[in-house]
Amino acid sequence: ESIIASPEVVHYVCKRFGIHMSKKLGQNFLIKRGVVDEIVHAADLNAGEPVLEIGPGIGTLTQGLAQSGADVTAIELDRRLLEVLDTTLAAYDNVRIIHGDVLKLDVPDIMNHKQFKVVANLPYYITTPIIMSLLESRLPIERMVMMVQREVALRMVAKPGTKDYGALSVAVQYYTEPDIVMDVPPKAFLPAPSVTSAVIRCVLRKEPPVDVVDEKLFFRVVKAGFEQRRKTFSNTMKTTGLSKEEIEMILEKANIDGQRRGETFSLQEFADVANAWHSIK
């Protein structure tokens, strides 16, 4: 039984420990049992399986994860919450709390270099840096199930040519297969955030969906493609430092019309450009 996930208990716990939620640290605690259950379900956890929770807060979601029998490691930055977590998670011997900043800690080391899953109700002020650093680190992650702002979830699943499509869409779709599990209204949190949230599940791919010879080059092209959204792709490619002639040669080789805008390019087209660039180097 999850015991914290209700408005009354979250109020009680915060009052008892004198916790004032910090806006700066993105502290919006879940108060709906149903949402905790959906997140745990989407994580598809097995007993003994390593799972990393980012930002356990007062332990609401952590309890749900612990009850699945998974081997839970939770990283929390706010020192004040450590004694709260000691109490709310006292009944579970399969939870380990680590104090620190998830962006600064040595995550592979903490997870013993084994495959793991990530589950989190993310602090919204650093959503994108956390997701990008997890993806780029190439850690052996099986999936990530995360609460994010709905607007960010839409960017992660966006298709070429839509207003939400950007560098985040390409990176997420290159490394994972993302899908939105559910929308979550502000009233599922205490305090209620100003925006609607969503739970997104990103299952890591075993193989990239397109052939890329040089990933660094691929992501440079993607970055350039979205750098100046109003410009043609030929023009915005100049931000990479290539000359006009080199860009023309690359586009011809890739068989791409440089008058198009980068935001209409599929992953395959970005890969074609990057591979053409690689071949003339």
Stretch in the footprint of ligand SAM (CB under 6 A) among 41-49, 54-62, 236-244, 254-262 = 54-62
Our CB check for ligand SAM shows the closer of 5 and 202 to be: 5
**What is residue 2's DSSP assignment?**
-
How far is it, in rounded angstroms, from Cα 71 to Cα 227?
A: 41
The count of residues interacting with ligand SAM (CB under 6 A) is: 22
Q: Is 121 in the site for ligand SAM (CB under 6 A)?
A: yes
The one-letter code for the residue type at 83 is E
Task: Please report how close the Cβ of residue 105 comes to ligand SAM at its closest, in angstroms.
Answer: 8
The backbone torsions φ and ψ at residue 144, rounded to the nearest 5 degrees and listed phi first, read -130, 125
Query: Is 134 an interacting residue with respect to ligand SAM (CB under 6 A)?
Result: no
Binding mask 231-270 for ligand SAM (x = CB under 6 A): ----------------------------------------
Binding mask 77-116 toward ligand SAM (x if CB under 6 A, else -) reads: xx----------------------xxx-------------
- CB of 89 or CB of 250, closer to ligand SAM: 89
Q: What secondary structure does DSSP assign to 16-41, as a single string?
A: HTT----TTTT--EE--HHHHHHHHH
The reply on whether position 26 binds ligand SAM by CB under 6 A is yes
Range list of β-strands (E), 20-103:
29-30, 50-54, 71-76, 95-99
Q: How far is the CB of 213 from ligand SAM (least distance, A)?
A: 35
> Could you tell me if 246 and 276 are in contact, meaning their C-beta atoms sit under 8 angstroms apart?
no
Q: Which helix (H) or strand (E) holds 9?
A: helix 7-16
- 191 and 28 in contact (C-beta within 8 Å)? yes
> Cis link prior to 191 (omega < 30° from 0)?
yes
Least CB distance from residue 254 to ligand SAM, whole Å?
39
Where on the chain is the footprint of ligand SAM (CB under 6 A)? 25-30, 54-57, 60-61, 75-78, 101-103, 121, 123, 126
